[in-house]
């Protein structure tokens, strides 16, 4: 696939339509070009739509199989087979279309027109406490599902019997509108972490579902699932503390103009119209000067001129910035094998074997022409400047943490370096997450 099409697909990963994002991910994976990996991994880490996340997960798994020299999960299809499949699909589509028309017509007669699927209004803004309570409820469901799954797996490991009697909530992250996401940035971040925890739970849950279907399992399957649940417990404990400490943002204060009357003398409002001119003439002022106060705005009320945005290729800049967010996955991820994850495992006495990390993008820098345009006196974009600074700071901190991590992981001393490495990695992650939110804000404006 030509690189122009490759870059177009990267742009489509940010399309509002999940179907477009899912198709773009599939087509990027089909290129088998390792350069698309950062964008697919970034999609997997931040995507909210479950089907798109699954597509990204399958793409990453296919790339991993290729790197290991294994057969790709997506089997190659010959041109003849592809032609036969397309022909069959066209026939099947025609039959399905006719059946759907008949079913729709019968449904219209029997029950009237269907109601459209309810979606969250883009301008909806629920109260902080309401969204916080919803997240707390979903978080509790994740804890209950994890505990029930652990009980069934441990029972199998002890007795060898597969008993699938527990019922599961299988929750999803809270659906937030764009306005809520922008207004409550902390809740949006915690909701993303909740989604990562839900995804982490789905790995052992899916494995156990297959075991329940086949009614056969090995002890190794159970041990792997328990190890995944152990890591999930660590993530849930951290998220529980963050949810408990989350506080709503301070209310926005609107400046109040100062009312300054022109005269110190205040007329008695009980006086008659004839008395008012008499008092004001005695004071030597016009009658209207007494009755009409003057509004003197404060300094904060004075509207500040807004400079236009610089003439930059924002699409290219945002794409290059987004490529740096692949570092987030190596810092901490839903697989439980990021640097922070492994340091935490080592602190708990869990053996860590996944030391190698992928190559990271180099530091982001503007070209001379871009820097000159951004620094023009008659144009400004403070949010873009702050985002570039956050990305640079985050990458620098992440590289410092990586240097400590790789040496310690190779030498088996992760537990000894956790106290030094985890704060660096967490600070780097916070900077990059804030930059990631800024990129989405710039992209939407």
Average pLDDT taken over every residue of the chain: 76
Q: pLDDT grade, residue 258 (50/70/90)?
A: very low
For CA atoms 178, 179, 180, 186, the dihedral sign is positive
For residue 124, the cross-strand partners are none
What pLDDT is attached to residue 396?
Answer: 94
Q: What is the pLDDT of residues 306-329, one digit of tens each?
A: 678 999 999 889 988 988 888 988
Which of the pair, 128 or 218, is modelled with greater confidence?
Answer: 128
pLDDT reading at 110 higher than 60: no
The residues, ordered by sequence, that sit 6+ positions from 366 with a Cβ below 8 Å of its Cβ are 317, 374, 388
How far is the CA of 344 from the CAs of 289, 327, 423, 425, in angstroms? Answer: 73, 18, 12, 12
- Supply 361's token pair: 């993008």
Q: What percent of the chain has pLDDT over 90?
A: 19
Give the pTM: 0.41
* In the predicted structure, residue 18 carries a pLDDT above the cut 50: yes
Domain boundaries, the chain: 3-67, 83-111, 128-245, 258-296, 314-444
Q: Is 260 helix (H, G, I), strand (E, B) or coil?
A: strand
Which one, of 402, 399, 398, 390, lies nearest residue 432 by Cα?
390
254 φ/ψ angles, rounded to the nearest 5 degrees: -95, 120
Residues 370, 310: Cα–Cα separation, whole Å: 9
User: What's the whole-number mean pLDDT along residues 50-56?
Assistant: 86
Q: Has residue 304 got a pLDDT over 80? A: no
The pLDDT confidence band at residue 392, using thresholds 50, 70 and 90, is very high
How far is residue 233's CA from residue 228's CA, in Å, rounded to a whole number?
9
Question: Using one digit for the tens of pLDDT, what is the confidence trace for 180-228?
Answer: 888 888 888 888 888 888 988 888 888 888 888 888 766 567 777 777 7
**Has residue 19 got a pLDDT over 60?**
yes
Question: How many percent of the chain have pLDDT more than 70?
Answer: 72
Could you give the CA distance from residue 43 to residue 336 in angstroms, rounded to a whole number? 17
- Residue 340, judged by CB atoms within 10 A of its CB (0-12, 13-18, 19+), counts as buried
The CATH number of domain 3-67, selected from 3.30.470.20, 1.25.10.10, 2.60.40.2220, 1.10.230.10: 1.25.10.10
Q: How confident is the model over 279-287, as a mean pLDDT?
A: 43
């Amino acid at each position: 696939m030509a690189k122009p099409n490759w870059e177009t697909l990267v742009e489509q990963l940010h399309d509002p339509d999940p179907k477009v994002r899912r198709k773009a991910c599939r087509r990027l994976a089909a290129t088998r070009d390792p350069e698309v990996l950062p964008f697919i991994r970034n999609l997997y880490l931040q995507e909210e739509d479950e089907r798109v996340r699954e597509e990204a997960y399958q793409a990453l798994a296919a790339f991993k199989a290729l790197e290991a020299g294994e057969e790709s999960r997506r089997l190659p299809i010959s041109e003849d087979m592809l032609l036969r499949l397309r022909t069959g699909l066209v026939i099947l589509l025609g039959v399905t279309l006719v059946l759907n028309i008949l079913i729709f017509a019968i449904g219209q007669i029997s029950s009237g027109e269907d109601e459209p699927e309810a979606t969250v209004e883009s301008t909806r803004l629920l109260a902080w406490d309401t969204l916080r309570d919803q997240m707390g409820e979903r978080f509790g469901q994740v804890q209950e599902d994890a505990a029930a799954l652990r009980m069934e797996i441990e029972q199998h490991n002890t007795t060898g019997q597969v008993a699938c009697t527990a019922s599961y909530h299988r929750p999803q992250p809270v659906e937030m509108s764009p306005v809520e996401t922008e207004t409550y940035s902390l809740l949006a971040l915690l909701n993303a972490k909740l989604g990562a925890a839900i995804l982490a739970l789905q790995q052992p849950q899916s494995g156990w579902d297959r075991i329940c279907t086949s009614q056969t399992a090995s002890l190794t399957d159970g041990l792997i699932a328990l190890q995944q649940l152990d890591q999930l417990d660590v993530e849930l404990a951290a998220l529980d503390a963050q949810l408990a400490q989350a506080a709503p943002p301070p209310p926005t204060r609107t400046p109040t103009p100062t009312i300054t009357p022109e005269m110190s003398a205040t007329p008695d409002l009980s006086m008659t119209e004839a008395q008012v001119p008499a008092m004001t003439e005695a004071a030597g002022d016009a009658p209207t000067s007494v009755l009409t106060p003057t509004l003197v705005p404060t300094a904060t009320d004075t509207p500040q001129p807004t400079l236009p945005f610089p003439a930059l290729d924002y699409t290219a800049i945002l794409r290059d910035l987004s490529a740096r967010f692949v570092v987030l996955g190596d810092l901490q991820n839903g697989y439980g094998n990021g640097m922070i994850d492994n340091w935490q495992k080592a602190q708990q006495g869990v053996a860590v074997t996944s030391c190698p990390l992928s190559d990271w993008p180099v530091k982001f820098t503007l070209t001379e022409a871009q820097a000159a345009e951004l620094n023009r006196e008659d144009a400004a974009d403070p949010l873009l400047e702050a985002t570039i600074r956050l990305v640079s700071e985050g990458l620098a901190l992440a590289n410092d943490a990586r240097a400590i991590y790789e040496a310690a992981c190779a030498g088996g001393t992760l537990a000894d370096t956790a106290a030094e490495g985890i704060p660096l990695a967490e600070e780097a992650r916070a900077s990059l997450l804030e930059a990631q939110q800024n990129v989405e804000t710039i992209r939407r404006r």
